[in-house]
């Protein structure tokens, strides 16, 4: 009898310890799934580290690969967001967040322009060309490259074909992170403009966003940056960035 009581007491202690150790689901950390969407010329591997960090923070995740080089933005939105929704569905989430890089953010805007997501929570975009991209204009203007240039590149420009400029203001909780570290990237012709080397800071802005922050990171690897990670998780939990926190290393 005494042994049984000791065993029961030990089990209760273990349950209590696990309850403290496992991130609690609550107002700051609901039963949420985060869909990660990579950028042009990338795969899900580019978002893998950030996926692991989000899972460590208590979120379920979906990290689909979509064929960014093969289809126009309208088709990519259906494929990328649609696959992410299917992967999240197995977790039966109450909330679905998005964390995107570059083109991935435009896919979310395009998808939501056609249909709602009832469980939609918050969206964080990293280096999104929300006003179109001058770098895309330049790449698409090179005749020698045109035959091998993905159609989505032409649609990411600033001209008449621009998809992001045609989508209008956002009507969801959006936070935008813009990089300011340019190391001789495609924006050489506009070096006086603050950019992440691929997307200018002013190109990331969009009407309706609820918060915006600039960080000293470049376009290519911003999703592997610890400060970016911290701000992403902070926004998903609080609906704003942590502007009071000094940048790492300062």
* Per-domain residue ranges of the chain: 29-238
Neighbours of 182 (CB within 10 A): 22
pLDDT at 22: 40
Q: What is the mean pLDDT of the chain?
A: 85
In the chain, pLDDT over 90 holds for what percent of residues? 68
**Is 125 within 8 Å of 103 (Cβ atoms)?**
no
Report the pLDDT averaged over residues 79-103: 97
Whole-number pLDDT of residue 11: 43
- Mean pLDDT computed over 84-113: 97
What is the predicted pLDDT for the residue at 31? 87
pLDDT of residue 15: 38
Mean pLDDT, residues 173-195 taken together = 77
Length of the chain: 250
User: Which residue has better confidence, 246 or 213?
Assistant: 213
Is the model more confident about 213 or about 143?
213
Yes or no: say if 199 and 220 are a contact pair by the CB < 8 Å rule.
Answer: no
| Chain centre distance of CA 115 | 19
3-state SS, residue 3: helix
Residue 249 confidence (pLDDT) above 50 = no
Write the pLDDT tens digit of every residue in 118-170: 999 999 999 999 999 988 777 666 655 565 567 888 899 998 889 999 999 99
In the predicted model, what is the mean pLDDT of residues 229-247? 91
Residue 174 banded pLDDT, cuts 50, 70, 90: very high
Q: Which fold, 29-238?
A: Rossmann fold (3.40.50)
**Per-residue confidence (pLDDT) for residue 150, from 0 to 100:** 74
Residue 206 has pLDDT above 50, yes or no: yes
Distances in Å between the Cα of 138 and the Cα atoms of 48, 141, 154, 160 are 30, 5, 10, 15
So what's the pLDDT on residue 143? 55
More confident residue, 186 or 220: 220
Angle, vertex CA 20, rays to CA 120 and CA 5, nearest 5: 135
DSSP 96: E
Per-residue confidence (pLDDT) for residue 139, from 0 to 100: 67
pLDDT score for 136: 78
End-to-end CA gap in the chain: 61
CA distances from 38 to 9, 106, 200 (A): 48, 11, 18
């Amino acid at each position: 009898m005494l042994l049984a009581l000791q065993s029961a007491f030990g089990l209760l202690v273990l349950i209590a310890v696990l309850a403290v150790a496992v991130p609690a689901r609550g107002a700051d950390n609901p039963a949420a799934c985060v869909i990660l969407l990579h950028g042009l010329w990338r795969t899900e591997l580019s978002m893998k580290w950030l996926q692991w960090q989000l899972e460590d923070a208590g979120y379920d995740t979906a990290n689909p690969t979509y064929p960014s080089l093969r289809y126009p933005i309208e088709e990519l939105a259906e494929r990328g967001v649609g696959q992410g929704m299917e992967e999240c569905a197995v977790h039966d989430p109450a909330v679905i967040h998005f964390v995107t890089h570059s083109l991935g953010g435009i896919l979310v805007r395009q998808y939501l322009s056609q249909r709602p997501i009832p469980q939609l929570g918050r969206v964080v975009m990293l280096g999104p060309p929300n006003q179109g991209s001058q770098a895309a204009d330049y790449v698409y203007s090179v005749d020698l490259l045109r035959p091998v240039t993905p159609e989505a590149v032409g649609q990411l420009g600033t001209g008449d074909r621009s998809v992001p400029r045609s989508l209008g203001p956002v009507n969801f909780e959006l936070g935008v992170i813009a990089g300011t570290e340019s190391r001789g990237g495609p924006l050489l012709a506009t070096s006086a403009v603050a950019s992440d080397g691929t997307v200018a800071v002013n190109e990331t802005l969009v009407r309706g966003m609820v918060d915006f922050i600039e960080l000293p990171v470049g376009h290519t690897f911003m999703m592997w940056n610890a400060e970016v990670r911290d701000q992403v998780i902070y926004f998903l939990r609080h609906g704003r960035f942590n502007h009071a926190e000094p940048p790492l290393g300062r």
